[in-house]
Amino acid sequence: MRDYHIPVMLKQCINFIAPKPGGIYVDATIGGGGHSLGLLESCPDIHLIGFDQDSEALLEAHKTLFPYQDRVELIQANFSRMRTELAFRQIKTVSGILFDLGVSSHQLETPERGFSFDLDSPLDMRMDQSSDLTAEIVLNELSQKALTRIFYDYGEELNASRIAGKIVKIREEKPFKTTGDLVKVIESVAGKGTKASLKTKARIFQALRIYVNQELEILEQALKDAINILEPGGRIVVLSYHSLEDRIVKNVFRSAAEGEEQTSEASFLNSTKKRKLQLLTRKPLQADAEEINNNPHSRSVKLRAAEKI
């Protein structure tokens, strides 16, 4: 399992979730099962439900959590379906939920998945490999305007328009097939072998991955659903890896902590705010130097936690 994906900020996640005997806990992005294993080991009597849209991840999680198979249920589905899938199982509330967002180190290091700009591989980038949309289709079929918007909105890339223009021009003669094809275009605009070029490649690949998997579109509603199904005293922990994700998490948590306006039908004067969450982290926590040294994937992580009121 540790070769598959090292769980980020594992100790902190367990401490914030604070699992209690008899509780039902959800790992919304189970990956290789590292965080779930930690939760199961920390409490002798919990039931864990793990979600992941990646079939390879679920196979690995099954191996990792096999000793606890009587207390684990794995579901192949995106976390956007969490509330529905739990309802199918007649589960109305849970004691804790963990989200570990983004791409796993295993996905990055598997060439055929196409997530890494360091490996020349097919332009795939699908987390759910049964999905029809790939990065190859995006690059070869979307307009220059659409590509520019993707690179700017999801990657915050200032060279978005220039890179999109070059992609459209080049594909007229030869379609994009591999990540190496895309890297060449990026380097022709941003340069090669510099920190600036490296950051541009990371932003463009991030943007494509987010678009292909609709990561941001589904995140806000999934977080709201998660908060709604938490029992009083239940806790939610979210690990995010770039500013776009963290901004959504921060805003959803803050809105739930400040409360929504509740106005009685009898009088508009009797309005109150109903708070759903108590924030456990006013500012996001980050991995320490030792963890970053042992697991570079944790370098950009931000952890936010809250408790249901």
**For residues 229 and 118, what is the distance between their CA atoms, to the nearest angstrom?**
40
CA nearest neighbour of 246 among 101, 31, 108: 101
DSSP 172-205: TTS---BHHHHHHHHHHHH-SSSHHHHHHHHHHH
- What's the CATH superfamily of 10-106+216-308? Vaccinia Virus protein VP39 (3.40.50.150)
Please write the tens of the pLDDT for every residue from 178-187. 999 999 999 9
Reported as a single tens digit per residue, the pLDDT across 125-166 is 999 989 999 999 999 999 999 999 999 999 999 999 999 999
| pLDDT value for 165 | 98
- For 69-111, write each residue's pLDDT tens digit: 999 999 999 999 999 999 999 999 999 999 999 887 778 778 8
Task: Give domain limits for the chain.
Answer: 10-106+216-308, 111-213
CA–CA distance, 154 with 309 (Å, rounded to integer):
33
Does the pLDDT value for residue 35 go beyond 70?
yes
Q: Which architecture characterizes domain 111-213 according to CATH? A: Orthogonal Bundle (1.10)
Amino acid at 219: L
The reported pTM is 0.91
